[in-house]
Amino acid sequence: MRFFDPHIHVTSRTTDDLENMAAAGVRAVIEPAFWLGQPRTRVGSFVDYFNSLIGWERFRASQFGISHFCAIGLNSKEANNEGLAKEVLELVPRFALKEGVVAIGEIGFDEITQAEEFAYSEQVSFAKDHDMVVMVHSPHRDKKRGIIRSLDIAKEIGLPMAHLVIDHNTEETVKETLDAGAWAAFTIYPHTKMGSERMVDLIEQYGPERMIVDSSADWGVSDPLSVPKTAKRMVERGLDARTVELTTWQNALDAYAQSGQIDVEALLQKPAIDQTQLFADNSVLRGQAPRVDAPVPN
């Protein structure tokens, strides 16, 4: 089976993870720009971070046969540093129109402040003007109100709802999101977000249309195999193949390919791992297989 994980922070993951993801069938990922666990203090940190998303991380994933796309944006937490936020918002157009940048994201609300609303509105307007998709991070606290506010603002600005993906939905928010006409994404992330079992319950209840499963795996205790693991659970519980395909591959592809920045034809071809790139001594694959049951090969 093939899987599209449309939300994962690969920057924080090791090559072991990438190997395991490839082996489990993950063929494409989207890495949205987010905060790094602690706030940045200089705009240059954002320049280098955005550059790594469109450069090194894309290449790193490609060595494992994984197509790496990304979303560019100023996240909600750091939107609250208003001086820095202004500088970062000026930077967004330098990165958002690049090849493989499939959305503005992840943007939205954290504490639902005025500063967050300003950054969100500015970026949604940019997305609308440039015919782009928006990936919305919904808050941990006061989630429902945050989602409703995100939907309302996007509507006011005139972003087509088909260009809006609301992420980190729960049982309590999925109906609002779907009724608004947006895509509903779910993060399968242990302890704080959604588990596989609940996810399958939701798909049974709401059907597979506009429903997207992702991992949001990052620097926390999270699982880069969340999408294939949830697909496995769907199969075990008797959901049909089309449902599994839609929620773990096709919906994400349909939503984000609207950006015009996914070479769908190339993606659908068998993943090609370039052996000359694998061989490079200076690349990330330094010849070792990450196993403890064998000595380090030469």
Partner 1 sequence: MSAFLLLKRMLETRLPRPSVQWFRDACTEITDGVDDVRFAGLVAMASRHARDSTPLAPSADELKRANETLEGWNPERWGLLEALRAALVLTRSDLDDDRGVLAVESLFAFADEGEQRALYRVLPLVPSPERFAARAGEGCRTNIPPVFEAVVLDSPFAVRHFDDGAWNQAVIKAVFLGVPLWRLFGLDTRLGPELARMALDLVDERRSAHRDVQPELWLCLGEHGGARGTEALLKELDASNSNTMGRCAAAYALARAGEGERLVECMENEADSVVRAAMQEALDGNVASTVFRKLRPEEGA
Residues that bind partner 1 (CB under 8 A): 47, 51, 54-56, 58-59, 93-95, 97-100, 260-261, 263, 265-266, 276-277, 279-284, 298
Q: Around Cβ 232, how many Cβ atoms within 10 Å?
A: 15
Residue closer to partner 1 by CB (options 92, 119) is 92
Residue closer to partner 1 by CB (options 97, 161) is 97
Residues contacting 62, CB < 8 A, separation 6+: 68, 274, 277
Residue closer to partner 1 by CB (options 56, 219) is 56
For residue 70, the cross-strand partners are 31, 101
Q: In what order do the strands lie in the sheet with 26-32?
A: 3-5, 26-32, 67-72, 101-108, 134-137, 164-166, 183-187, 211-214
Residue closer to partner 1 by CB (options 95, 189) is 95
| Range 105-123 burial, b when 16+ CB lie within 10 A, else e | bbbbbbebeeebbebbebb
CB of 131 to partner 1, least distance (A): 9
CB of 289 to partner 1, least distance (A): 17
CB of 277 to partner 1, least distance (A): 5
CA-CA distance, 292 to 297, in Å (whole number)? 11
Token code pair at residue 81: 């540093």
CB of 55 to partner 1, least distance (A): 5
CA-CA distance, 197 to 186, in Å (whole number)? 12
For the chain, how far is it from start to end, CA to CA, in angstroms? 33
CB of 269 to partner 1, least distance (A): 9
For residue 107, the cross-strand partners are 136
Residue closer to partner 1 by CB (options 57, 116) is 57
Element (H, E) at 16: helix 15-23
Residue closer to partner 1 by CB (options 52, 250) is 52
CB of 100 to partner 1, least distance (A): 7
